[in-house]
Structure 1
Amino acid sequence: MRRTPLWFPFALTLVGITSNALVTPALPNVLAEFSASEATSGFIVASGSVAGIFVAPIVGIAADRIGRRPVIVACLCMFGIFGTAVALAPTLPLLIVARFLQGVGSAGLLNLAVVLIGDVTSGDRRTKLIGRNSAVLTTGLAVLPLISGGVTQLFDWRVTFTLYSAALPLALVGWFVITPTPSVRIDSVADQLRGAIDAVRHPVNLASIVGATLVFIGIYGLFLTVLPLHLEGEFGLNAAKRGAVLSVPAVTSTLVAFNLGRLRAVFAVRQLIIGGGGIFVVTFLLLGAAGTLVLVVTAALLYGGGEGMFVPTLQEVTVSNTPDEHRAAALAAWTSASRFGQTAGPLIAGGLLKVVSTSVVLGLGSVLGIAIVILGVAGPFARSTGSSAPADAW
């Protein structure tokens, strides 16, 4: 039987991150067109991720039961159709509604990309490829803000958002290249749900879910929502320059994620989480206090290293501690937690911006770093062990 080409999960990841990576550099321009306040930025960003909190578990259960291909293709179609609607929205409420429906589609993209990798790899090879997938993600987070900022500066934010339509041809390609996996499950949906719940309740998986929530609150609430506003208000940067600064962390994040296999050969999961939490503490304190762009860029580079440690490590831990038949459901629960962080972060940040400055909000991000360090110290990650997996196909 032919197997899904390795480039496809990478492409799936790249499309998935466009949801917010294209939005954040253009946020001030969107707010200006609709005469909205800075606090509204949180609702715009969060509207694209809130659906994933509830939809991701359903997507995971469906992918485990009826196969990866139909679920992934359906998610891509919905993402592309309603992403295009975002670009055409005549009012802010309609834009937010379109973003919400686009988020229903995006609920199955990033997690199922990792599932596709986990299905056919194991051990060091799995760790390496999940790290490479995260490197694709962070490279995209570097390139996409540059594209968004540049296109927005040269043309208009609506032109930028038409890039969401790229999901539609990928859906067509996906139908032909994803390995079809006819369902062979004989258990009932109720039994499947019980098994999935047991998998999610694994102590390591629960700790990974908590970690994902904290990390994504920091990424989407502070770095991707507050920092663009901070760069405009404190340093007067236009959309193109904001996009350039937001892309800086991808340098260090990609470097770390690309070498995840080497790092895991030297450091335990617990050590990587503690180290990454410490990096977040320093990063957000520095971002809030920085009086020059040089310090902002330095902090952004440091931040990227922490992000590159967290995301692939937590994903790989979840994959390796979950039986094959519940892998998509467990990754969906992890994604649901990350979507909660993506949603709560911008909303919390938007609320704080009503009463304090962007500098103060960024500095408060150090609290997240402290919480992550505590999770690494007190969590069960030292007991993490791999589970059985098929022979490597890639």
Structure 2
Amino acid sequence: MREQVGATRPILPLVFVTTLTSIMGNSLLAPLIPDILETFDRPDGSAGLLVAAASLPGIAMAPIIGLLADRFGRRPVLTPCLFVFGLAGVFVATAPTFEIMLIARFCLGLGAAGLVNLAIVLISDHFDGDERTRWIGANSGVLTVALAAFPVVSGAIASAFGWRWALAPLSLGVFSALFAWRTLPPGRPEVQVSLRDQLAGARIAFTDRTILTSVIAAAVSFAVIFGVFLAALPTHLDDEFGLDAWGRGIVFGLPAITSSIAAFNLGRIRRRVGASTVAIVSAAAWTGSFLLLGLAGSLVVLCVGALAYGIAEGALLPTLQDAAMSRAPADQRAAVMAGWTAMARAGQTTGPLVAGALLAGPGSGAALLSGAVGAAALVALFALRPFSDGATPTPTTDETTKKAAP
């Protein structure tokens, strides 16, 4: 651990608050999608646009936010991200037309672009080695517990009061911004480097095999999560099983049960098994879960697939994050994690658009089965490009500069 316990303890609540805020945008929305499309008289294919609108800005903004956080410090970057998220959330919940909702979701995505990566960076700023793996896993566990609760809560609120009230919690990002401002120190990083050196250091970091594999996997994983699970499954549950918003929310909450178990035990698992093994097994389990989801003829079988999906997601995503952070140089953590998040956002944007095309064509079953194809591709990626367990991390920008000097 890098700092005294008294200094790190206040960071963890902020990490969890930031993570919880970041997932509200889609976890509250997912069970409401059919109701929103019906309100605005939009076809099923528009579900992809609705999900992708909040992901698109992260492709460009995540790297910028990472560079700014490394250069100016965490507080002056994280606080405005949370505030923009909360303010945009008000407009998402009150949008009078589908087009205005898309614009509001885009603005929400501007704020969300830096949240997931900065939460992981805050952990990496304060913890090393097994402790870092433990808290990244715990953070993922908190996330997955919330993924179980948020859809159920939003579905219940929507059933009782309408989908607009179910999106009202998005405004809580404003209060999260105040918490971040009061918790984080105002200072800049001790080591100041030029923008040119920052970009050069980030470029060197991304030549590392483990970081590059993790980044590619993040793009595919988030395309599968947001395109297949979050965009296609709500329509599938509505069309094939006739579930209302509350019922859809319960199904969406099931994976979080198994996902949280996997995430909270990741540190224990990683002490026995390497990152590459965890990644391969998780991706293989993901492949099987999407086959069950797409081919299920009964709701019981589909729920079994959802539980299997949760195990794979809970083990895979924190493993990818930890693998990248274990190799990132100290002064490039935010930049590396931002690049990771940018690729995740690219997948998060393209996945729903592909799913929307499949929903408009072959249907929701085909869209779900496409997730098995993506997960199988991850199995091949991890087998061909295994992670480097326990290797020496990439040098810092300062160390790289010194080595390059004559």
TM-score normalised per structure 2? 0.93
- The answer to whether 1:314 aligns with 2:320 is yes
Q: Which range moved further: 26-35 or 278-287?
A: 278-287
Q: Structure 1 382/199 Cα, relative in aligned 2: closer, same or farther at 3 Å? A: closer
CA contact (8 A) 1:321 1:384 kept: no
Q: Which range moved further: 353-362 or 256-265?
A: 353-362
Match of 1:80 in 2: 86
Following the alignment from structure 1 to structure 2, what is the Cα–Cα distance between the partners of residues 358 and 154? Answer: 27
Deviation of 1:386 (Å): 5.6
Please give the secondary structure, in 1, of the residue aligned with 2:11: coil
Q: Structure 1 373/384 Cα, relative in aligned 2: closer, same or farther at 3 Å? A: farther
Q: Which range moved further: 375-384 or 295-304?
A: 375-384
Match of 2:288 in 1: 282
Match of 1:108 in 2: 114
Match of 1:28 in 2: 34
Alignment of 1:1-394 (within 5 A): 2-3=7-8, 4-382=10-388, 385=391, 387=393
Code of the aligned partner of 1:268: G
RMSD: 1.5
CA contact (8 A) 2:83 2:173 kept: yes
Please give the secondary structure, in 2, of the residue aligned with 1:35: coil
Unaligned runs of 5+ residues in structure 1 are 390-394
Following the alignment from structure 1 to structure 2, what is the Cα–Cα distance between the partners of residues 186 and 143? Answer: 42
Deviation of 1:215 (Å): 1.0
Code of the aligned partner of 2:272: V
Code of the aligned partner of 2:391: T
Code of the aligned partner of 2:381: L
Deviation of 1:341 (Å): 1.3
Match of 1:392 in 2: none
1:295-345 alpha-carbon deviations (Å, 9 max, x no partner): 011000000011011110000011110011000000001111111111111
1:129-182 alpha-carbon deviations (Å, 9 max, x no partner): 000000011111100001111111111111111111101111112111113332
CA contact (8 A) 2:11 2:122 kept: no
Code of the aligned partner of 1:197: R
Deviation of 1:385 (Å): 2.7
CA contact (8 A) 2:71 2:192 kept: no
Deviation of 1:383 (Å): 5.2
TM-score normalised per structure 1? 0.96
Aligned residues: 389
Please give the secondary structure, in 2, of the residue aligned with 1:381: coil
Unaligned runs of 5+ residues in structure 2 are 1-5, 396-406
Code of the aligned partner of 1:224: L
